[in-house]
Structure 1
Amino acid sequence: MARPKTMRHLGGDRRGVAMLEFALSLPIVLAIGLYGIEISNLALANMKVSQIALALADNASRVGVDNGLAQQQLREFDINDVLQATRLQSNDLKLTTNGRITVSSLEESGGVQRIHWQRCLGLQKGADYDSSYGRTTIKGTTPSTADDTGAAYDPTAGTNTKTDGTDDSASHPGSVIKGGMGDPDSKVFAPKDSGVMFVEVNYKYVPVTGTWLLGNQRLHSVASFIVRDRRTFALVSNPSPAAKRSTCDLYTS
């Protein structure tokens, strides 16, 4: 049994108090620090996704080749080129593995707004990753809207599927979009007899510390640019040697 003098000595001993306080507060300090790191990384990833969407829409609005008639002809090769640039730009995010990119050509003709063609890149699929604002549908089916799930998707929209020298692109006109593309408070419309490159990016955020702090986060960004130069909107050409079309029925990285 400890003597009274020893007990009084232990009662007045303050050595190790700082270490004990640090041990008790460490979980709280660590959690706050990790939360700050995660929030900062999320904000940075969101900014990158936004910039990637803007760069892709800008690039897609510029590409094309002179067809000899003072017009720019858009080719499948050009579309694949700008998608490849996006793939390289987003390599640190692994965007094409953890997300989905949709490029839509919103065009106006005769007072009608239409998604003439779409191209996609990315492995993720489902309502959270496929386009939220419409899709190209087979001619004669219900006009496409943001909540349209009944009309069949047409991967050949805006293209010529004939190989005998004839052109059947008119039979793949894409989808009429009533009210433009985009969220209700920020609809985008193509100018008269022109077009807009509308880009949608959906990304499954990869957290630094796991999902226990923020849960599963999906980043979403859209961007649009009016087409530069005098692009011909008749169809997307695919001269020999033909390039593989990055249609939205494919899920590739």
Structure 2
Amino acid sequence: MSLLDKMRAIGRDSAGVSITEFAIVLPVFMTLGMYGAEIAWMNAAAMEASQVAIALADNASRLGQTDNSGVTPTISTDDVASVLTGALEEGRNINLEGEGRVILSSLEAHPVTGKQYVHRQQCKGNLKKSSSHGKPDPLGSALSGIANGLALGKTKVTAPAGSAVMVAEVWYTYKGLFGTMFVQPFTMHEQAAVIVRDNRNLTPGIGNAKSSNDC
């Protein structure tokens, strides 16, 4: 058989065509599947961080509700630390404690000037991030008060006189499911705010000291 006849025979041979085609398209489908899994996991992480922020603000707003005494409850740093610990536990699936930080700020209206200011602030988590709303003013001087409240996205949040708004922030560094193949590490920032549900003692310096965990 001549070389030309052998080449024609090879051209007519259809054995192994399916395997060859599968081998060609497999890397494409694997890449698309991995990319889809990356996007899904990234969205799931963002949703979990958002849910943690909402739960943290809501839980902080309810502190003191179980106090049945006739005295207006004062919230201590230990009380706030408990809800921060709960937030980190809720975010365990995304390793929020190791790769993130939860920050709780108390936005209040100064009783004299009426200015909005961050009275106290506590945080937990290994990520070195500060609140986007600045440092607290535990003495209540409100010298650098926020005239128009805090901006949470397109929404302005202000605290009514004699009350407070619990502002929760969640910072989380997302690292790709497949390393840096599809996405470089970046930091998510989710926020939520809930007004306190009951009367609360907001007296400066009483149970409102800043946590030893510097924010």
Asked if Structure 1 and Structure 2 have the same fold, meaning a TM-score greater than 0.5 normalized by the shorter chain, the answer is: yes
2:179 equivalent to 1:210: yes
One-letter amino acid of the structure 2 residue matched with residue 121 of structure 1 = K
Shift of 1:226: 0.3
Shift of 1:42: 0.9
CA contact (8 A) 2:38 2:178 kept: yes
Aligned pairs for 1:4-83 (under 5 A) are 4-64=4-64, 66=67, 68-83=69-84
Which of 180, 197, 205 is the matching residue for 2:149? 180
In 1, distance between residues paired with 2:39 and 2:3?
55
Structure 1 unpaired stretches of 5+: 138-156, 158-170, 239-243
Shift of 1:205: 1.0
In 1, distance between residues paired with 2:63 and 2:150?
22
In 2, distance between residues paired with 1:228 and 1:23?
62
Shift of 1:2: 4.9
* Partner secondary structure for residue 82 of structure 1: helix
CA contact (8 A) 2:85 2:124 kept: no
* Partner secondary structure for residue 197 of structure 1: strand
Q: 1:136 to 1:187 in 2, by over 3 A?
A: same
- CA offset digits 1:16-59 (Å, max 9, x no partner): 22222222222211111001101111111111111100111011
Q: Which residue of 2 aligns with 1:233?
A: 202
2:130 equivalent to 1:130: yes
2:191 equivalent to 1:222: yes
Q: 1:96 to 1:211 in 2, by over 3 A?
A: same
In 2, distance between residues paired with 1:135 and 1:79?
17
* Partner secondary structure for residue 28 of structure 1: helix
In 1, distance between residues paired with 2:178 and 2:99?
17
CA contact (8 A) 1:205 1:217 kept: yes
CA contact (8 A) 1:180 1:188 kept: yes
In 1, distance between residues paired with 2:205 and 2:32?
52
In 1, distance between residues paired with 2:4 and 2:175?
60
Shift of 1:69: 4.3
One-letter amino acid of the structure 1 residue matched with residue 104 of structure 2 = V
In 2, distance between residues paired with 1:96 and 1:25?
41
- CA offset digits 1:58-108 (Å, max 9, x no partner): 111111274954412111221111112112111121112111111100011
CA contact (8 A) 2:62 2:196 kept: yes
**Higher share in helix:** 2
Shift of 1:210: 1.0
One-letter amino acid of the structure 1 residue matched with residue 49 of structure 2 = V
Task: Report the TM-score when normalising by structure 1.
Answer: 0.75
Structure 2 unpaired stretches of 5+: none
In 2, distance between residues paired with 1:93 and 1:31?
23
In 2, distance between residues paired with 1:78 and 1:204?
27
Q: 1:184 to 1:86 in 2, by over 3 A?
A: closer
Task: Report the TM-score when normalising by structure 2.
Answer: 0.87
Q: Which residue of 1 aligns with 2:124?
A: 121
> Aligned residues: percent identity?
37
In 2, distance between residues paired with 1:173 and 1:75?
20
CA contact (8 A) 1:66 1:73 kept: no
